[in-house]
């Protein structure tokens, strides 16, 4: 790394996870995926195991709530007993509709209130603070490895990973948090988003080509199952080519659920509440929340839990519960002598099985979709992500796969860092995914001429009749105009061009607003009275390039009526990793357009 060529860039992968986060980088003149450098020297990590130091815990402690802190703490700097905030990533997508594969208790109020937020701070604020700590660490790291004098003219591309199922709002909140934390603060730097399963596929399948017996062969089906701390994301590809370059095509609409490793933790809290009641639930998050000594003990056992464990002895988790009255019936659950909760092998199975069953349901749904669409059968499932390292999950999935003649494997580099290193590889080599399946319907609400006989009985809470000023014709709102459908093949050239005609009196405004909607049902509803229609956000377009004098207009009784036909262009698979917008008048771009996301 002593010599940096003139046009070399630094490619950085950032995996902001629910439970653990990581960072890796490489220079753009790297010649092999082995040149990607996963960062391991996280502040405060020296006393922790080496495997986990590939990532740092996604936890934040604020100095204004912890008197012993001189500055905000993040990752390994957060110590047991501090007032801590964790699992915040899941709150970035809280406004999206729940799916059948989400933990049903995820956002229930009360209980352990694990995903609490500090007073006066949002989920994005907590995310920003964590990423701010990561940015300071990154700055020190690159200065150490490249030299500060070489960084001044070195462009940096930051590839930030997000769940494939994330709403547009959650994606943009994550990107905004990274910008606020200081990433891509220079004009020459960029932030791009990449879906976590796509990043994992980039590394796992590319590294497989270097094995003696590669499972990556042309005309084979490969599923990537990304099991993280908060989400499980499944994407399936057909390998179209391996030479001269690896090329993939998505062959099914990806499926996902908020049913990752933290689902096991929430099951633990429910079990503890059932067994010990107020003696457990009255304890504060410093004692039983993420990052507490109690949960750190559980995390170690959770990471190693396997049905092949020879010992049937109950596992001990030290936890002092002053309010607990230990009776003879309680002794099988709590050991007074060591102040320890006792969990048997069957208890751990009870915590894991609902989560494993949900993940297997997701895998089955994807396999069934492939068969229904008569696509290339799945021969291999690649398991990645933090929870993908769980021995028990591997054992259960292996059994399921063996019954169906499917091979289960993990990347040669390990499941733990596949996503963050794959993000760097995407920046180095470009996308290996030639086509994707659109995960949602996207469109707008339009009005049609009102027919009282045909439209009788419409829901007046959601729709209304209005009169067009020039023609005096009545229209009914609430008709969905879907511009792209779920399951359609899209690539980097796919665009939606939607025509809108607006009428104005006397003056044309300098901005126009369009509300974009989506729906993840297989069959798109025809009106806003349908189920599971979500508001993606409001697209705000500036019209700085318009000359009002050139527009078509009609003068009536001293009033000027303007008719303004505009075209809103949306790129669905833009390199930035989220929807990208442009606004046109008569094939000429006349301003800037962006979606407005309110947290």
DSSP secondary structure string, 350-366?
HHHHHHHHHHHHHHHHH
Main-chain phi, psi angles of 273, to 5 degrees: -65, -40
Torsion-angle region of 404 (φ positive above 0: left; ψ -120 to 50: alpha; else: beta): alpha
With beta carbons less than 8 A apart as the criterion, state whether 412 and 211 touch: yes
Beta bridge partners of 362: none
Task: Give the per-residue pLDDT at 107.
Answer: 67
Q: Edge-to-edge strand order for the sheet containing 73-74? A: 73-74, 59-61, 85-86
Q: Which residues of the chain have pLDDT under 70?
A: 1-7, 47-52, 107-113, 149, 209-213, 413, 598-599
Q: Which residues have a Cβ under 8 Å from the Cβ of 3 and sit 6 or more positions away? A: none
Rounded Cα distance, 325 and 574, in Å: 60
Write down the pTM of the prediction: 0.90
Task: Give the per-residue pLDDT at 210.
Answer: 63
Task: Give the per-residue pLDDT at 212.
Answer: 47
Q: How far apart are the first and last CA of the chain?
A: 41
Task: Identify the structural domains of the chain with CATH numbers, from first to last.
Answer: 10-195 (3.30.420), 199-257+357-417 (3.30.420.40), 262-352 (no CATH), 441-596 (2.60.34)
Cis peptide bond prior to 244, omega within 30° of 0: yes
Whats the size of the chain, residue-wise?
599
Task: Give the per-residue pLDDT at 4.
Answer: 47
Task: Give the per-residue pLDDT at 35.
Answer: 84
**pLDDT per residue over 365-390, tens digit each?**
999 999 999 999 999 999 999 899 99
Rounded Cα distance, 43 and 482, in Å: 49
Task: Give the per-residue pLDDT at 597.
Answer: 77
Pair type for strands 559-571 and 533-542: unpaired
What the block records as the tokens of 324 is 């607990």
Task: Give the per-residue pLDDT at 598.
Answer: 67
Task: Give the per-residue pLDDT at 213.
Answer: 52
């Amino acid at each position: 790394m002593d010599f940096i060529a003139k046009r070399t860039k630094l490619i950085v992968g950032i995996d902001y996870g629910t439970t653990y986060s990581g960072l890796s980088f490489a220079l753009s003149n790297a010649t092999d995926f082995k040149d990607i450098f996963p960062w391991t020297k996280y502040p405060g990590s020296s006393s922790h195991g080496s495997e986990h130091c590939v990532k740092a815990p996604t936890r934040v402690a604020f100095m204004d709530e912890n008197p012993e802190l001189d500055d905000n703490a993040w990752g390994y700097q957060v110590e047991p007993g501090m007032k801590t905030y964790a699992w915040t990533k899941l709150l970035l997508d809280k406004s999206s509709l729940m799916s059948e594969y989400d933990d049903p208790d995820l956002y229930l109020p009360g209980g352990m209130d694990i995903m609490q937020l500090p007073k006066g701070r949002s989920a994005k604020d907590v995310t920003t603070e964590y990423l701010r700590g990561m940015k300071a660490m990154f700055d020190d790291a690159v200065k150490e490895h490249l030299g500060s004098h070489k960084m001044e003219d070195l462009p940096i591309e930051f590839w930030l990973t997000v769940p494939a199922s994330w709403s547009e709002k959650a994606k943009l909140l994550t990107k905004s948090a990274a910008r606020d934390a200081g990433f891509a603060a220079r004009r020459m730097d960029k932030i791009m988003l990449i879906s976590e399963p796509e990043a994992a596929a980039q590394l796992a399948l590319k590294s497989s080509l270097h094995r003696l017996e590669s499972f990556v062969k042309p005309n084979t089906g490969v599923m990537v199952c990304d099991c993280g701390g908060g989400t499980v994301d499944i994407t399936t590809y057909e390998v179209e080519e391996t030479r001269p370059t690896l090329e993939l095509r998505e062959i099914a609409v990806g499926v996902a659920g908020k049913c990752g490793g933290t689902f096991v933790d929430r099951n633990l809290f429910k079990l503890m509440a059932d067994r010990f009641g107020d003696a457990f639930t009255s304890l504060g998050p410093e004692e039983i929340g993420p990052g507490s000594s109690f949960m750190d003990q559980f995390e170690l056992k959770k990471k190693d839990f396997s049905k092949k464990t020879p010992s049937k002895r109950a596992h001990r988790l030290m936890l002092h519960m002053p309010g607990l009255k230990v009776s003879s019936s309680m002794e099988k659950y709590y050991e007074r002598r060591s102040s320890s909760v006792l969990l048997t092998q069957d208890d751990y199975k009870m915590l894991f099985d609902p989560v494993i069953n949900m993940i297997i349901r997701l895998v089955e749904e994807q396999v069934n979709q492939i068969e229904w669409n008569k696509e290339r059968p799945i021969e291999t499932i690649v398991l990645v992500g933090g929870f993908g390292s769980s021995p028990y999950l591997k054992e259960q999935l292996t059994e399921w796969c063996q019954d169906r003649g499917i091979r289960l494997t993990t990347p040669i580099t390990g499941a733990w860092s596949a996503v963050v290193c794959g993000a760097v590889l995407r920046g180095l080599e470009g996308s290996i995914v030639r086509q994707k399946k659109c995960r949602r319907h996207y469109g707008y609400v339009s009005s049609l001429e009102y027919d009282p006989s045909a439209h009788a009985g419409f829901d007046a809470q959601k729709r209304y009749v209005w009169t067009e000023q020039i023609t005096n014709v009545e229209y009914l709102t609430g008709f969905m105009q879907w511009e792209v459908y779920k399951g359609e093949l899209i690539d980097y050239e796919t665009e939606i061009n939607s025509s809108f005609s607006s009428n104005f009196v006397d003056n044309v405004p300098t901005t126009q607003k369009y509300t974009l909607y989506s729906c993840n049902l297989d069959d798109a509803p025809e009106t806003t009275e349908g189920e599971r229609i979500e508001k993606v956000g409001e697209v705000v377009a500036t019209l700085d390039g318009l000359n009002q004098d050139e527009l078509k207009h009609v003068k009536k009784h001293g009033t000027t009526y303007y008719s303004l036909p505009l075209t809103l262009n949306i790129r669905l698979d833009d390199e930035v990793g989220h929807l990208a917008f442009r606004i046109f008048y008569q094939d000429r771009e006349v301003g800037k357009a962006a979606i407005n996301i309110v947290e």
